[in-house]
Structure 1
Amino acid sequence: MATSAGRRAERVARETLGLEELRPGQLEAMTALAEGRDTLVVMPTGGGKSAVYQVPALLLDGPTLVVSPLIALQRDQVAGLRRRDERAVRLDAATSKKERDSSFQSLRAGETEFLFCAPEQLTKPDVVRELAAAKPSLLVVDEAHCVSAWGHDFRPDYLRLGAVAEALGRPVVAALTATAAPPVRTEIIERLRMRDPVEIVCGFDRPNIHLRVRRTSGDGEDVVEAVEELAKPGLVYTATRKQTGELAGRLRERGVRAAAYHAGMRRADRDAVQESFMTGELDVVVATNAFGMGIDKPDVRFVVHAQVPGSLDAYYQEIGRAGRDGEPAAAVLFYRPEDLGMRRFFTGGLPDEDALAVIARAIREAGGRTDRKHLRELLGLSVRGVTSLLNLLEKAGAVRLGTRSVSATEDAPPPEEAARAAREVAERHREVERTRLEMTRRYAEIRDCRRVFLLGYFGERLPGPCGACDTCTAGTVSEPEPVSGGPFPVHARVEHVEWGPGEVIRRDEDRLTVLFHENGYRELLLEAVVREGLLREAG
């Protein structure tokens, strides 16, 4: 039965946004936010995440702050709101002082409902003070997976948002993302300091996307030939910047309107490529993972990966850019086992324990509180480098991060002990990353239904083979035996004798896939688990 907040949300959605029928999860999320509940929403791209926060924003007293990592996406959102006669402004590095002062004044006066900014803007004390004076009622964190070191697109500036929420007077927090496996969701909640949040996870399945994996020699010729044959437009993802130019050039030689895109290009050139793709002047963009977040082009007919991605989280986010119009699309992964070696190399680094100890000692010598600038100067590191070390010390329980300040926790261990604990956190994270890479290998090599495996990774279970992947088409998929009975069902909380607590995310006839909180994804033979007593169901 709908609550009064739910009925008001439905009315605003209909009268203001013109939404006669809401999609799965939308009303539940709108209602929770309108009732003042922190809410984490995992909803597929194109599932209506913008409406999820715009409706409660109009129901709650006070302005709404929307944090988004992309200026282009902010620009589109502001333009869309203004077309509906909603007052919305944007704040970035190019905003003049006069525009900034005017925006803050209109927020305080209640004349503007929405302010959009990137997380970098919230590292400035004057910005946070002005926003706090406006008493926002809702803080929206878009692309919330960026807050998680578990995630595939970690952004250090997102780590400060939990402290920002406190500095703003603790408005209701809405965390929105299209892709978040269970450990990412847990870290989003922790990092944003969400209070007893409502979690709404909508179906991950995109049945119109045909999933395929092809073995490759690695010379790129098979990628070029496949892209030639696929319906356009589409995206090709590569592991390196150099490969973007090489593959785009080879495609142009075949008559395909293609261009490269990567973070090392000038902004004007990147913007030109993006605009040409959006308007249909380009058929294919060959890019690193720098391209795609916030790109809302509904008719993308394929996403090709020229190399294996680092995780299924990243893979699912990227293939989700295909077929948003609901029409058939293809996701093709070119797989070479040797490429996994390069990915393992990228997960191999560990932090300098001496640098961690220097930071912990500096905070103690400063009376238990200092600022990030002092620590950067002390170590001669970049903002990202210091932030990464502080992130580990925070996870080890040694420090607490503010918007700019860093303070020791009340029970902070001695500096050397804190450094050891932080390094152990890093070692566990590295092991987790390697298990995620192993799950990517399993996806590429599996002979059973790829979609069943992929959705199982995110904790979602399909009743049977999908019929819309290459293994189903090839007839290599065997109909699974029913596994509804017996121990350790899907979503069961379990405890391993060595790896600690976890959750069963997939259960086959002969094996379990368990996500352990501290040790990542593991596949266990069910017979051995039962025989050796390796797992017990937790309460």
Structure 2
Amino acid sequence: MTTEALHAILQQVWGYASFRPGQAEIIEHVTHGGDAIALLPTGGGKSICYQVPGLARQGLTIVVSPLISLMEDQVADLQKRNISALSLAGDVPLKTWDQWMDRAIAGEFAFLYISPERALSQRFLERLPHLPIQLLAVDEAHCASQWGHDFRPNYTRLGVLRQALSEVPCLAVTASATAAVLEDIRQILHLEAAPVFQRSFDRPNIAIHVHPTQTRETTLLHLLRPKEGRQILYTRSRSQTVLWAKRLQEQGIPAKAYHAGMSLEERSAHQHAWISGEAPVMVATNAFGMGIDQADVRQVFHLDLPDSLESYYQEMGRAGRDGNPAEAHFLLDSRVEAVFTKRLHEEELSWEDLSRVYNMLGSIGQIAIGDGKDVRQAVDLDRLAERLNVSRSWLHIALKTLEREGLFLLQDRWTEQATYTLRMHGHALVDALKNLPLVEDTGYYLARQPSFGSVLRFSAKKIAQDLQLSIPDLYEQLNSLQKAGILEWTHVDAKTVLTWKLPRAEEGRMPISRTKIHALRTAKGDRAHAVLDFLHTEKCRMEVLLAYFGQFDHDPCGRCDRCTQPRKRSSLAIQGHILALLQASPKSAADLMHYLPDPPEAVKEALRTGIHRTLWAPTESGIYHPCH
């Protein structure tokens, strides 16, 4: 397909007159069947790089993406442009899933968005040969790298999908990749021979400012301009999003909070209020922003320190996507920085730490050495943390690390899950329930399925709603049924259920590389220290940020606080200026500080040095005269 034809697709579908810098080369290469890795800045139009080739090549484009919101937003945008697109995200009934797959095989969809977990499912892989696939796109490809800031274990298995589609061009795109992350992307997706299309990560319209402050609220209110476009305030804590939004509302500023713990309805309502301008200020955790392409975000604030510069770059990069001037402000409270540093040390994990957690899980679950594969174990995180004498956050990181290394599969938020096994059926069940009128309805409810002897999982919340009971009342009835010998049940109080993926190893022989754990620990520490170095640098902020991503050939941006602050002069330069002023007429120290642009302490130091060098001398009244 010609360059003109690709431009025509862009014009007809998106209404753009031309591609953004770097897009055309990627699109032409992929359209003509080439694999590629694209490293583009935030707001650089990554999705266009696979959507235009997808339409140009016709057939079906598979887009692997890590976030449901990201998939749903892009599908909605494509459908708005009369392009048939489907998202296989969230809970899809089996019958519906089969119907969608049949339609995809029949060629009814141009784009199919899918999570890595679902893309690697046996059910999807079996359908793969029958789908008219012309392009594979892997969005947020940095998630494949264990050295990256957003590692997702299932991304490391996408090589299986890539090999199954080896005759189809593959495009991996990301907005944040260091050299180590890029190498992982190459190997995992079998893109060793693919060219890397890389644009500068510079965002020339964003001015970065770091504000040391002990009064973040006062500083924020001074800087915030809610009448100009949109603003995003990032904080680490869910509770802090609500607190800061309330503070702003009390000051008459329309603000909403957003975090992953909110209901879908509440998050959607708050996002709509922000997009519409009803509440132009969004106070959010990093759960907000991925997939949001709001062009007129004028200010992004960070109230806490992010874990990495990759995260910071993505979050601050949500500003100024329309190309107009925008600001990224960092409110640096030394107390918040101290908490960040303390947490960094507290959350360090050694191989021995992980082994202690691993062995404790085996002991609690009564898993014998050599046994346990595929066993599910309920874990009360609070009690486990107490037994290990560690914080809950530390324990969560440890469990996630063990999952990433393939020892366990974790399932969170099982607070209302339980299992039961019927021990009676038929006439025996009917006779037993006649003697238990208070629990008869519950007994028959659980016996509706032909499940005698089977272990079944159920939602306590759903059954309580169906029977119009409170959950505590339901538990009492289940206990009564158990005492009567009608069933056995187990209430899972844990916040996490883990499945052992490998047999339990002997103590001291946990199947994880010590070298790898040490390397990952070092990499995490390096990422955190890079954040601290960025905040305290004397150099151009954007220059430091770009150097972190391996881009060293950039001049100072001329926009950040370091570039625009008065330059610090050397003591010799200040002394030369003082001497010139004194040669014109004798002056007091106060007069000199008035005339000089330098900090008072720098002027005082230069005056003391000049006395020792016999450049000038003060009189008893404090008036300085040149000595020569």
Normalised by the length of structure 1, the TM-score is 0.74
Letter in 2 for 1:238: T
Question: Is 1:293–2:306 an aligned residue pair?
Answer: no
State the Cα RMSD in Å: 3.7
Partner residue, 1:107: 104
User: Aligned-pair distance for 1:208?
Assistant: 1.1
How do residues 523-534 of structure 1 correspond to structure 2 at under 5 angstroms? none
Cα deviation, 1:394-437, whole Å, max 9, x if unaligned, reads: 9xxxxxxxxx99899xxxxx999984762321211111221222
Contact 1:353 1:420 in 2 (8 A): no
Question: Is 1:238–2:251 an aligned residue pair?
Answer: no
How do residues 157-236 of structure 1 correspond to structure 2 at under 5 angstroms? 157-167=154-164, 171-217=168-214, 220-227=217-224, 231-236=228-233
How do residues 364-513 of structure 1 correspond to structure 2 at under 5 angstroms? 374-375=373-374, 377=376, 388-389=401-402, 391-392=404-405, 419=510, 422-476=513-567
How do residues 12-23 of structure 1 correspond to structure 2 at under 5 angstroms? 12-14=9-11, 17-23=14-20
Structure 1 spans left out of the alignment, 5+ residues:
367-372, 395-403, 409-413, 480-539
Contact 1:392 1:422 in 2 (8 A): no
SS at match of 1:49: coil
Whole-angstrom CA distance in 2 between matches of 1:188 and 1:34: 21
Q: Give the 3 Å change call, closer, same or farther, for CA 347–220 of structure 1 in structure 2.
A: farther
The sequence identity of aligned pairs, in percent, is 35
Q: Which moved more, 1:376-385 or 1:429-438?
A: 376-385
Cα deviation, 1:62-92, whole Å, max 9, x if unaligned, reads: 4211122333332332233334443222222
Whole-angstrom CA distance in 1 between matches of 2:204 and 2:569: 19
SS at match of 2:209: strand
Q: Which moved more, 1:440-449 or 1:227-236?
A: 227-236
User: Aligned-pair distance for 1:378?
Assistant: 7.2
User: Aligned-pair distance for 1:177?
Assistant: 1.7
User: Of 42, 60, 73, which aligns to 1:45?
Assistant: 42
Q: Which moved more, 1:198-207 or 1:7-16?
A: 7-16
User: Of 59, 65, 69, which aligns to 2:66?
Assistant: 69
User: Aligned-pair distance for 1:240?
Assistant: 1.4
Structure 2 spans left out of the alignment, 5+ residues:
382-395, 408-498, 571-628
Aligned length: 453
SS at match of 1:250: helix
Letter in 1 for 2:148: G
How do residues 117-136 of structure 1 correspond to structure 2 at under 5 angstroms? 117-136=114-133
Q: Give the 3 Å change call, closer, same or farther, for CA 466–317 of structure 1 in structure 2.
A: same
Q: Which moved more, 1:313-322 or 1:212-221?
A: 212-221
Partner residue, 1:535: none
User: Aligned-pair distance for 1:93?
Assistant: 2.9
Contact 1:228 1:256 in 2 (8 A): no
Contact 1:347 1:433 in 2 (8 A): no
Partner residue, 1:156: 153
Contact 1:448 1:476 in 2 (8 A): no
Q: Give the 3 Å change call, closer, same or farther, for CA 342–123 of structure 1 in structure 2.
A: farther
Whole-angstrom CA distance in 1 between matches of 2:569 and 2:107: 61
Whole-angstrom CA distance in 1 between matches of 2:44 and 2:164: 31
Partner residue, 1:487: none
Whole-angstrom CA distance in 2 between matches of 1:94 and 1:58: 28
Partner residue, 1:251: 248
Contact 2:558 2:564 in 1 (8 A): yes
Contact 1:39 1:197 in 2 (8 A): yes
User: Aligned-pair distance for 1:195?
Assistant: 4.2
Cα deviation, 1:474-533, whole Å, max 9, x if unaligned, reads: 123799xxxxxxxxxxxxxxxxxxxxxxxxxxxxxxxxxxxxxxxxxxxxxxxxxxxxxx
Partner residue, 1:341: 341
SS at match of 2:559: coil
Cα deviation, 1:187-236, whole Å, max 9, x if unaligned, reads: 22233333422211112111111110011227644334433689452011
SS at match of 2:170: strand
Cα deviation, 1:102-154, whole Å, max 9, x if unaligned, reads: 32122222232211123342353213322343152322111222222332233
Letter in 2 for 1:67: V
Question: Is 1:353–2:355 an aligned residue pair?
Answer: yes
Q: Give the 3 Å change call, closer, same or farther, for CA 326–460 of structure 1 in structure 2.
A: same
SS at match of 1:40: strand
Contact 2:85 2:111 in 1 (8 A): yes
Whole-angstrom CA distance in 2 between matches of 1:278 and 1:307: 24
SS at match of 1:102: helix
Whole-angstrom CA distance in 1 between matches of 2:398 and 2:536: 36
